[in-house]
Amino acid sequence: MIKVPLVKPLTKLGVSRAVILTKSWLDYHSEQMGHEIIRVFMEVDGCLKILPALEKEESEKKDG
């Protein structure tokens, strides 16, 4: 898979800002994972990475 950075605008949401994920991104990752994406992980370490949350990882986060 070729990694292509997407430049996304920030959308005003109340006093916060949001990044809107495209339907094609959600559809692709939902198909790869075999279920609908309802949450994402955000890694913040000098740069922002948004990753689909896997069911197993979600339950581990709740338990841990």
Residue 44: strand pairing partners = 48
Q: What percent of the chain has pLDDT over 70?
A: 83
- Residue 45 has phi, psi (to 5 degrees) of -155, 70
The model's pTM:
0.61
Asked if residue 16 has pLDDT above 90, the reply is yes
pLDDT given at position 56: 61
Confidence grade of residue 64 (pLDDT, cut at 50, 70, 90): low
